[in-house]
Amino acid sequence: MAVSAINASHEAVHARYEAVDSLYRETRDIRLLGFVLFLCSDVVLFSMFIFAYLYLRNSVPNWPPITKGGVQLPRFDVAFACINSCVLFGSGATMHFAMESWKHLNKAAFNLWMIATIALGIGFLSGQAYEYQHVPVTWTGSTMGASFFTLTGMHGFHVFIGVIYLITLYIQANRGVYTGSKYFGLTAGTLYWHFVDVIWVALFFLFYLW
């Protein structure tokens, strides 16, 4: 009788977990689609600002533009931007390794790569804050300055949100929220972080190389 009760209990637990797994599989693709659509909306947002910047840039005869005093504005510091960009792109690599470590159930490596990603993200934001204090333009001083601060500031805000998101994911992962087969939050975090990397490629080319 006791054995039958234990078996029945095990079967009930197994059925409950099967139902949870089935629900997770059914909703995972829907949530992924929703998150991808969210990223697409962000692409549209950045695209509008970039096209506005291109329009303003092509509406003046000289670039960098000439001030009212007849002085041409200097270009941005490419060398510093390259270093700061490498920091951000490096964080994309560490985020990839963190995700792969989780898939292979290597929690120690996951923690190491996640901490590295968070640290590099903070490093990029620190570099951007330093650059803001030394750029040769102001927000209201010129079209160049307004465009620079608007686009890079909007990107920096996304990186800031991303860092908070990654810290949350790190805490959740170490509290057992995710498993080896259920880790949609980590997948979303990885996609988001690669998104800010890709956006920065476009901004780096527009403001520093072109």
Mean pLDDT (whole number) for 80-93? 97
In a domain, 142, yes or no: yes
Q: Which of 67, 54, 101, 92 is nearest to 199 (CA)?
A: 92
What would the pLDDT profile of 170-188 be if each residue is shown by its tens digit? 999 999 999 988 999 999 9
Residue 136 structural domain: 42-209
In a domain, 23, yes or no: no
Tokens 């901490």 identify what position? 115
Residues present in the chain in total: 210
- Element (DSSP H or E) covering residue 199: helix 184-204
- Looking at residue 103, its pLDDT comes to 95
Helix (H, G, I), strand (E, B) or coil at 141: coil
- Looking at residue 150, its pLDDT comes to 96
- Looking at residue 42, its pLDDT comes to 96
In a domain, 11, yes or no: no
Q: What is the CATH number of the domain that holds 138?
A: 1.20.120.80
Peptide bond into 136 cis (omega under 30): no
In a domain, 20, yes or no: no
Which residues, listed in sequence order, are joined to residue 66 by a DSSP beta bridge?
A: 72
Name the band, by pLDDT with cuts 50, 70 and 90, for residue 6.
very low
- pTM equals 0.86
Sequence-ordered alpha helix ranges (H) in 69-183: 78-103, 107-132, 143-174
Tokens 């996640």 identify what position? 114
User: 172: exposed, middle or buried (C-beta count within 10 Å: 0-12, 13-18, 19+)?
Assistant: middle
Tokens 């060398």 identify what position? 79
Lowest mean pLDDT among 28-32, 35-39, 97-101, 106-110: 28-32
In a domain, 149, yes or no: yes
d(CA 12, CA 171): 31
10 or 128, which is more confident?
Answer: 128
In a domain, 158, yes or no: yes
Is there a contact between 128 and 156 (Cβ–Cβ < 8 Å)? Answer: yes
> Is residue 12 scored above 60 in pLDDT?
no
In a domain, 181, yes or no: yes
State how many domains the chain has. Answer: 1
> Is residue 93 scored above 80 in pLDDT?
yes
> Is residue 35 scored above 80 in pLDDT?
yes
In a domain, 128, yes or no: yes
- Looking at residue 21, its pLDDT comes to 67
